[in-house]
């Protein structure tokens, strides 16, 4: 009867093949040829996962070289079908002009137990091996996984989310649309708080907001580089660029107003406005900054602080082309440009974007 099944498949008479297989499954369900043709029937019926499962089981359970060869060919066909479907879906996802904008796909951390469960799914979706998938999934902070057209990134991101792998995506344009105000100093603090600040055109003004509007704080250190003269191994003088100091930054996110209030220890006028720090000339910038941080903690005790900027930045500093598309809104005196500045704005902008997505999703 197996010969009759094979003949039915050759004629593409799948109705007859199905009737014959139904009888054979009752008589000899463990027969490898019966299982193989059941897999073929699943394949032509577009039950691809069922077909793949049977083909893989045959590779493990039989030594018949003809069946093994047929099962491998079946798996190869399934792989090609999946790739073609993927390419069509990606092409469709990027047809709209808005879906061709430059964007980023960010993976969120998983604990080791969840990573072990997620790695095979991640590998299948992204077409990579399981070992690479396990190494790629982050355990601690965010990881920028891919840049490219936002339509394609959304396609992959949606599949990952359905598989229980936390991630999100954002366009560089959306991050650039966030208004950034450089805070000079706080004027008063109550339910409504006022800051004197500069807008992106360097115009000085004031902004009054309610503390409940602040939904996130982003803290980060940006290195300050200096040219120094050093002696090399051959006792010759050489010039090197070294990190001599760090600038402290703190962003307050007001998603309802689509803006960020950016505070830095190099730009905040500690002796102006609200007396947050003691009026003494003996205070160092670091002491003043720490006191300002304590004051902000008192004002915003329930607001999450995002402080994993440095490990995030260290993984993307070589992506000069992508970071070159980002206006940093960082006002530090620098002899040369550095990717650290746009990396901080990207990190803060991603926090903002992710926060906004969640808020919009809840409404």
pLDDT of 237: 66
Tokens linked to 191: 């339910």
Choose between 72 and 233: higher pLDDT. 72
The string of pLDDT tens digits covering residues 306-330 is 999 999 999 899 999 999 999 999 9
Length of the chain equals 363
Query: 221: burial class by Cβ within 10 Å (0-12, 13-18, 19+)?
Result: middle
Answer yes or no: is pLDDT of 64 > 90: no
Tokens linked to 218: 């982003």
pLDDT of 282: 64
pLDDT of 213: 95
pLDDT of 2: 81
Confidence of residue 44 (pLDDT cuts 50, 70, 90): confident
Answer yes or no: is pLDDT of 63 > 70: yes
In angstroms, the CA 86 to CA 200 distance is 42
Mean pLDDT of 244-262: 94
pLDDT of 280: 57
* C-alpha to C-alpha distances, 348 to 74, 108, 143, 278, 342, nearest whole angstrom: 47, 15, 14, 30, 10
Whether the CB-CB separation of 167 and 157 falls below 8 Å is answered with yes
In angstroms, the CA 183 to CA 251 distance is 10
The string of pLDDT tens digits covering residues 81-99 is 877 777 777 676 676 766 8
Answer yes or no: is pLDDT of 215 > 70: yes
pLDDT of 107: 95
Choose between 283 and 173: higher pLDDT. 173
Whether the CB-CB separation of 67 and 32 falls below 8 Å is answered with yes
Start-end ranges of CATH 1.25.40.10 in the chain? Answer: 2-92
Confidence of residue 191 (pLDDT cuts 50, 70, 90): confident
In angstroms, the CA 49 to CA 79 distance is 11
97-174: which CATH topology? Ribosomal Protein L30; Chain: A, (3.30.1390)
Mean pLDDT of 95-119: 88
- pLDDT more than 70, % of the chain: 91
The least confident of 25-29, 115-119, 126-130, 340-344 is 25-29
- Residue position matching structure tokens 């930045």: 313
The string of pLDDT tens digits covering residues 216-246 is 999 999 999 876 666 666 767 666 667 778 9
- Residue position matching structure tokens 């077409």: 127
Start-end ranges of CATH 3.30.1390 in the chain? Answer: 97-174
Mean pLDDT of 45-68: 87
Query: Could you tell me which of 121, 133, 128 has the C-alpha nearest to residue 49?
Result: 121
Q: 99-117 burial by CB neighbour count: b if 16+ within 10 A, else e?
A: beebbbbbbeebeeeebee
Choose between 362 and 191: higher pLDDT. 191
Answer yes or no: is pLDDT of 77 > 90: no
2-92: which CATH topology? 1.25.40
* C-alpha to C-alpha distances, 139 to 104, 134, 329, nearest whole angstrom: 19, 10, 30
In angstroms, the CA 108 to CA 55 distance is 34
The pTM of the full predicted model, rounded to 2 decimals, is 0.76
- pLDDT more than 90, % of the chain: 48
- Residue position matching structure tokens 């803006």: 259
């Amino acid at each position: 009867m197996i010969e009759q099944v094979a003949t039915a498949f050759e004629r593409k008479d799948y109705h007859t093949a199905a009737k014959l297989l139904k009888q054979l499954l009752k008589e000899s369900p463990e027969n490898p040829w019966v299982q193989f043709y059941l897999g073929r029937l699943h394949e032509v019926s577009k039950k691809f996962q069922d077909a793949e499962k049977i083909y893989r089981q045959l590779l493990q359970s039989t030594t018949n070289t003809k069946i093994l060869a047929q099962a491998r060919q079946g798996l190869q066909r399934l792989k090609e079908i999946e790739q073609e479907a993927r390419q069509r879906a990606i092409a469709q996802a990027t047809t709209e002009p808005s879906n061709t904008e430059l964007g980023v796909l960010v993976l969120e951390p998983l604990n080791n137990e969840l990573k072990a469960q997620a790695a095979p799914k991640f590998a299948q979706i992204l077409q990579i091996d399981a070992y690479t998938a396990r190494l790629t999934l982050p355990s601690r902070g965010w990881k920028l996984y891919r840049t490219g057209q936002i339509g394609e990134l959304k396609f992959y991101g949606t599949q990952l989310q359905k598989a229980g792998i936390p991630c999100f995506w954002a366009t560089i344009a959306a991050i650039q649309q966030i208004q950034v105000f450089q805070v000079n100093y706080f004027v008063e603090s109550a339910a409504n708080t006022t800051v004197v600040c500069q807008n992106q055109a360097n115009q000085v003004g004031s902004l009054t907001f309610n503390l409940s509007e602040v939904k996130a704080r982003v803290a980060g250190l940006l290195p300050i580089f200096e040219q120094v003269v050093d002696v090399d191994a051959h006792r010759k003088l050489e010039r090197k660029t070294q990190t001599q100091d760090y600038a402290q930054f703190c962003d307050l996110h007001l998603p309802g107003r689509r803006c960020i209030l950016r505070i830095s220890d190099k730009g905040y006028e500690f002796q102006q406005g609200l007396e947050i720090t003691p009026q003494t000339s003996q205070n160092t910038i670091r002491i003043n900054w720490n006191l300002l941080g304590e004051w902000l903690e008192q004002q915003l005790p329930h607001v999450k602080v995002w402080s994993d900027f440095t490990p995030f930045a260290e993984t993307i500093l070589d992506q000069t082309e992508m970071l070159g598309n980002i206006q940093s809104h960082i006002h530090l005196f620098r002899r040369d440009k550095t990717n650290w500045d746009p990396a901080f704005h990207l990190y803060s902008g991603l926090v903002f974007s992710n926060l906004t997505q969640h808020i919009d999703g809840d409404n």
